[in-house]
């Protein structure tokens, strides 16, 4: 068990190492650099400015704790908002009664979805309600927002809201949801975004291959975990302009979504984002802003909502779990001949950024390798789970796990060095991508050789 | 017993996104003293993008980073931007700010040409001066030009511009097209130690070589790489949102959802591989997202190298690895092929 798999150094590897083939790129000539290089003193004063290890403009305030995030801001008379969320994964809402909640100490106002002028948002399809009105589709859907004098009073009042549901069959497995007879979560098809990439003839490629490798890979649902949970404040300026402070990474889109949901002209809405304490894709859409705007209007007071960590997990977006079926045909000398990939993305309860994610995942799925025959199809599927959306890498970390795991399995079976098989098949300057694009400034081989050299890969012969 | 293993993984990643156009715009104002102010609609999310954008403006104007003040993230004040997403800020917003600075610079060069009595095409902006390229002794300070432009000639030096990456729509049936203007590449090699009695994995070292085009600020590129690797280690080994049978998350908190802490972080050797992208600002591409992409497969390949089991569903928790090791041991007893410990 402790024995290591055999990896032979091939003759090819030696040649490749001696003579990098990275197009116009220079060979690696730089000596070792320290693991951590200090910021260069005076870099901020140097010209030319590009290439300097300039000290960040905002580092002093971050390190001294004086950066002002949204939650550090307060306005006179500001109220605090908490949102009641669904206890059902999939259900019809029969009734929502806020009478008792409105009588709770400190409560100033409540808001339900039927009070929102256009109660939907979403980057590709506007399939997500700001607050659910007739149906909930996962256990993070908001139902009622409560504005109170303190955060605690708003939290306490949530328990006084009475909601009755009629449960509907819920789907948690995208492979079940993709079946034609599965219950529908929206409209008439649970598959809501697809991408296909076809190059060459994959079946012919498999027929010409010496060996075929097939495996299913799966990844998990992941949360962005930004240090700063999502926060926003809404207030109405005396001249009637709505001013929203929000930890939103895309204020241009955020303002457009606000204008749409509130049915207001864009020039009457100002969105300010200050500094954001980590985004990673989880702050690319509006969350509570329309709710806060309407509660601020109702109460004539500024209102704030700061997500706690649980809100951030269940009511923001997450990384798509993907079920990935990889089939790869190779020649005995290690050349990749054909690869087919089928991706099924757990698309959660609403579309969010899934269309972009399935697109990027499909485009990248065959890996940075010259493969004459490629067939990739990816599908994003609704389930009654937490919304999956944009997250650092947009599907790339998932497919890279699959294609790089399979590359190692192929190398192992063929008795090749894992570095050698990547050098043998990797893109180089002028390679054609799987979408037919001529690639420029391709530094793949140089990254492989540099990391190998830095780690002593060749010396160790691992 | 602990077993050492080493794994490699590489990747490619596109800069910008593709479903629709994704433009950025910017305004650059050169002040009378030769400093500059940049207005950008992007949002600083912790990655240091405002610093990078300031450096790009400074480079174009021939001034230093501290001479540029950056104002961002206010829809009433700053021009539109598609946002801090898709590793696009340096490449797309960077091009918009470079073009805006170039427009302000063209006013300065025209004024300087008059002041120096030379042709505009003979001039360059460098080291806080505007000077004759072939005869740098003939020069005038940028501050004097800026002051002269605004006060004497009534031509305040400011510029506004937008940029949208050149792409070709993909064929809906075959996906053929040019969805992105640029790609970056990276390789990570990881050393791990796997305990065959507990299934526990310790990541001992990561060697990371990342192409980002021209590194506008190498320190910030390294920061992205380190942060991405932390995220990749979590994806590989510990992070997972779990649900009960009713679809309720059972670990929506940092006690039971395990992200790597500073104690889990190994030493990281970073090599920045500089390529020159023909479209990016000063050859730059981007680096934000790709930094985590090769981490998980490099760790999983290292686990296989250490104990001969291939985990195919993430995360590779200690429990999963231990089960796979046990399964492999049983297979070996039965005389099956070694190396078939796949889950």
**Domain positions in chain A:** 78-168+225-315, 175-222+318-460
Q: Do B76 and B149 fall into the same domain?
A: yes
Contact B85 A249 (CB under 8 A): yes
Local confidence pLDDT in tens for the 462 residues of chain A = 344 444 433 334 444 444 444 333 334 444 444 444 456 778 999 999 999 999 998 888 988 999 999 999 999 999 999 999 999 999 999 999 999 999 999 999 999 999 999 999 999 999 999 999 999 999 999 999 999 999 999 999 999 999 999 999 999 999 999 999 999 999 999 999 999 999 999 999 999 999 999 999 999 999 999 999 999 999 999 999 999 999 999 999 999 999 999 999 999 999 999 889 999 999 999 999 999 999 999 999 999 999 999 999 999 999 999 999 999 999 999 999 999 999 999 999 999 999 999 999 999 999 999 999 999 999 999 999 999 999 999 999 999 999 999 999 999 999 999 999 999 999 999 999 999 999 999 999 999 999 999 999 988 654
Structure letter (DSSP) for residue B200: -
Residue B248 and residue B303 share a domain: yes
Edge-first strand order for the sheet with B201-211 is B2-15, B182-195, B201-211, B268-273
Domain that holds residue B42: 17-162
Interface of B with A in 284-323 (CB under 8 A): 285, 288-290, 292-298, 300-301, 304-308, 310, 312-315
User: Chain A residues with CB inside 8 Å of B234's CB?
Assistant: 222
Give chain B's length. Answer: 343
User: Which residues, at least 6 apart from A321, have a Cβ–Cβ distance to it below 8 Å?
Assistant: A174, A218, A219, A220, A221, A345, A346, A388
A33–B contact, CB cutoff 8 A? yes
In whole angstroms, what is the distance from residue B207 CA to residue B283 CA?
24
In chain B, the DSSP E strands lie at 2-15, 24-30, 36-40, 68-72, 123-126, 129-132, 135-141, 158-163, 182-195, 201-211, 268-273
CB contact at 8 A, A247 and A232: yes
Q: How far apart are the first and last CA of chain A?
A: 16
Q: Do B82 and B132 fall into the same domain?
A: yes
Architecture of domain A175-222+318-460: 2-Layer Sandwich (3.30)
Q: Are residues B46 and B154 in the same domain?
A: yes
In chain B, how many domains are there? 2
Residues B261 and B297 in one domain: yes
Binary contact (B300, A443; C-beta < 8 A): no
**Residue A285: exposure state from Cβ atoms within 10 A (0-12, 13-18, ≥19):** buried
Same domain, B207 and B244: yes
3-state SS class at B231: helix
Q: What is the ipTM of this complex?
A: 0.95
pLDDT tens track for B277-299: 999 999 999 999 999 999 999 99
In this predicted model, what pLDDT tens digit does every residue of B113-122 receive, in sequence order?
A: 999 999 999 9
Our CA-based measurement puts residue A404 at a distance from the nearest CA of chain B, in whole angstroms, of 6
Residue from A108, A39, A400 nearest B187 by CA: A400
The answer to whether residues B185 and B282 belong to one domain is yes
Partner residue opposite A276 with nearest CB, options B46, B211, B234 = B46
Q: Select from B161, B33, B180 the least CA-distant residue to B98.
A: B161
Taking the C-alpha atoms of residue A7 and residue A421, their distance in angstroms, rounded to an integer, is 11
B20: pLDDT confidence band, cut at 50, 70 and 90?
A: confident
Residue B329 or A28, more confident: B329
Nearest to A354 by CA among B19, B247, B336: B19
Same domain? B41 vs B113: yes
Residue A44 has its nearest CB partner, among B62, B65, B185, at: B65
> Of residues B289, B319, B329, B340, which has the active-site annotation?
B289
The answer to whether B128 faces chain A, any CB pair under 8 Å, is yes
Indicate whether B248 and B265 sit together in one domain. Answer: yes
DSSP structure string for A283-326 = TSS-SSHHHHHHHHHHHTS-EEEE--HHHHHHHS-BBPPEEEEE
In this structure, the strands spanning A191-199 and A373-381 are antiparallel
Q: Are residues B209 and B136 in the same domain?
A: no
Structure confidence at residue B334 (pLDDT): 65
- Residue numbers in A near B314 (CB within 8 A): 218-220, 401
Structure tokens, B203: 């990541």
Chain A residues with CB under 8 Å of B207 CB are: 451, 454-455
Residues B198 and B217 in one domain: yes
Rounded CA separation A423/A450 (Å): 12
User: Backbone phi, then psi, for B98, in 5-degree steps?
Assistant: -65, -45
**CATH number of the domain to which B128 belongs:** 3.30.365.10
Contact B231/A280, CB-based, under 8 Å?
Answer: yes
Which positions in chain A touch B13 (Cβ < 8 Å)? 364, 393, 396
Check if B289 is active-site.
Answer: yes
Instruction: List all residues of chain A from 319 to 348 with a beta carbon under 8 Å from chain B.
Output: none
Q: Are residues B191 and B302 in the same domain?
A: yes
| CATH superfamily label, A78-168+225-315 | Aldehyde oxidase/xanthine dehydrogenase, a/b hammerhead (3.90.1170.50)
């Amino acid at each position: 068990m402790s024995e290591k798999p055999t990896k032979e150094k091939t003759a090819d590897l030696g040649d490749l190492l001696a003579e990098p083939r990275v197009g116009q790129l220079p060979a690696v000539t730089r000596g070792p650099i320290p693991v951590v290089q200090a910021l260069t003193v005076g870099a901020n004063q140097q010209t030319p400015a590009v290439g300097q290890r300039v000290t960040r403009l905002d580092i002093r305030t971050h390190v001294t704790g004086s950066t002002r995030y949204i939650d550090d801001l307060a306005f006179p008379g500001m109220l605090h908002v908490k949102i009641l969320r669904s206890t059902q994964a999939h259900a019809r809402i029969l009734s929502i009664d806020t009478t008792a909640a409105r009588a709770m100490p400190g409560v100033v106002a409540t808001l339900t979805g039927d009070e929102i002028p256009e109660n939907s948002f979403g980057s590709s399809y506007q399939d997500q309600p700001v607050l659910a009105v007739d149906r909930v589709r996962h256990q993070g859907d908001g139902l009622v927002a409560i504005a109170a004098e303190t955060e605690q009073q708003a939290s306490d009042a949530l328990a006084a809201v009475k909601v009755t549901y009629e449960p509907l069959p819920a789907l948690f497995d995208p492979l079940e949801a993709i079946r034609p007879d599965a219950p529908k979560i929206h409209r008439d098809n649970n598959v809501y975004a697809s991408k296909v990439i076809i190059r060459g003839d994959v079946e012919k490629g498999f027929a010409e291959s010496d060996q075929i490798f097939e495996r299913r890979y799966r990844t998990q649902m992941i949360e962005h975990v930004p240090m700063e949970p999502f926060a926003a404040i809404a207030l109405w300026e005396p001249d009637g302009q709505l001013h929203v402070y929000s930890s939103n990474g895309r204020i241009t889109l955020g303002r457009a979504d606000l204008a749409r949901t509130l049915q207001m002209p864009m020039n009457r809405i100002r969105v300010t984002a200050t500094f954001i304490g980590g985004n990673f894709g989880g702050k690319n859409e509006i969350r509570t802003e329309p709710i806060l705007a309407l509660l601020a209007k109702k109460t004539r007071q500024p209102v704030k909502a700061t997500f706690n960590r649980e809100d951030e997990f269940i009511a923001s977006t997450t990384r798509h779990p993907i079920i990935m079926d990889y089939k790869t045909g190779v020649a005995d000398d290690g050349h990749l001949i054909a690869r087919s990939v089928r991706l099924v993305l757990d698309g959660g309860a609403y579309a969010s950024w899934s269309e972009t994610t399935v697109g990027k995942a499909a485009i990248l799925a065959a890996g940075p390798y010259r493969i004459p025959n490629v067939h990739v199809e990816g599908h994003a599927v609704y389930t009654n789970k937490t919304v999956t959306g944009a997250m650092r890498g947009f599907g790339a970390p998932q497919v890279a796990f699959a294609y790089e795991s399979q590359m190692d399995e192929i190398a192992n079976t063929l008795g090749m060095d894992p570095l050698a098989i990547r050098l043998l098949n990797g893109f180089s300057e002028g390679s054609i991508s799987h979408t037919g694009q001529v690639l420029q400034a391709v530094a793949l081989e140089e990254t492989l050789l540099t990391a190998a050299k830095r780690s002593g890969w060749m010396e160790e012969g691992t | 017993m602990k077993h050492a293993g080493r794994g490699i993984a590489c990747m490619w990643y596109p800069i910008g996104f593709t479903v629709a156009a994704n433009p950025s715009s910017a305004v650059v104002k050169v002040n009378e003293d030769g400093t500059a102010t940049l207005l950008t609609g992007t949002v600083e999310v912790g990655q240091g993008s405002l610093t990078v954008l300031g450096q790009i403006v400074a480079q174009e104007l021939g001034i230093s980073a501290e001479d540029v003040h950056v104002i961002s993230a206010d829809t009433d004040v700053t021009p539109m931007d598609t946002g801090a997403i898709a590793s696009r800020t340096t490449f797309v917003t960077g091009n918009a700010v470079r073009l805006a600075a170039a427009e302000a610079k063209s006013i300065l060069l025209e004024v300087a040409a008059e002041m120096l009595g030379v042709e505009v095409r003979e001039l360059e902006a460098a080291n806080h001066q505007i000077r004759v390229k072939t005869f740098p002794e003939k020069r005038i300070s940028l501050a004097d030009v800026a002051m002269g432009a605004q006060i004497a000639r009534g031509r305040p030096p400011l510029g506004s511009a937008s940029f949208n990456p050149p792409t070709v729509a993909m064929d809906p049936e075959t996906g053929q097209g040019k969805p992105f203007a640029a790609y970056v590449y990276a390789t990570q090699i990881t050393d791990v130690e796997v305990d065959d009695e507990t299934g526990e994995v310790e990541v001992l070292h990561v060697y990371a070589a990342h192409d980002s085009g021209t590194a506008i600020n190498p320190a910030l590129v390294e920061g992205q790489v380190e942060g991405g690797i932390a995220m990749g280690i979590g994806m590989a080994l510990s992070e997972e949102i779990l649900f009960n049978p009713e679809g309720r998350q059972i670990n929506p908190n940092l006690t039971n959802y395990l992200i790597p802490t500073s104690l889990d972080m190994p030493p990281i050797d970073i090599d920045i591989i500089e390529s020159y992208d023909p479209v990016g600002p000063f050859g730059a591409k981007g680096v934000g997202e790709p930094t985590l992409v090769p981490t998980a497969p490099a760790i999983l390949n290292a686990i296989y190298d250490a104990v001969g089991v291939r985990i195919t569903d993430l995360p590779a928790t200690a429990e999963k690895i231990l089960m796979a090791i046990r399964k492999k041991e049983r297979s070996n007893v039965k005389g099956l092929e070694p190396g078939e410990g796949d889950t």
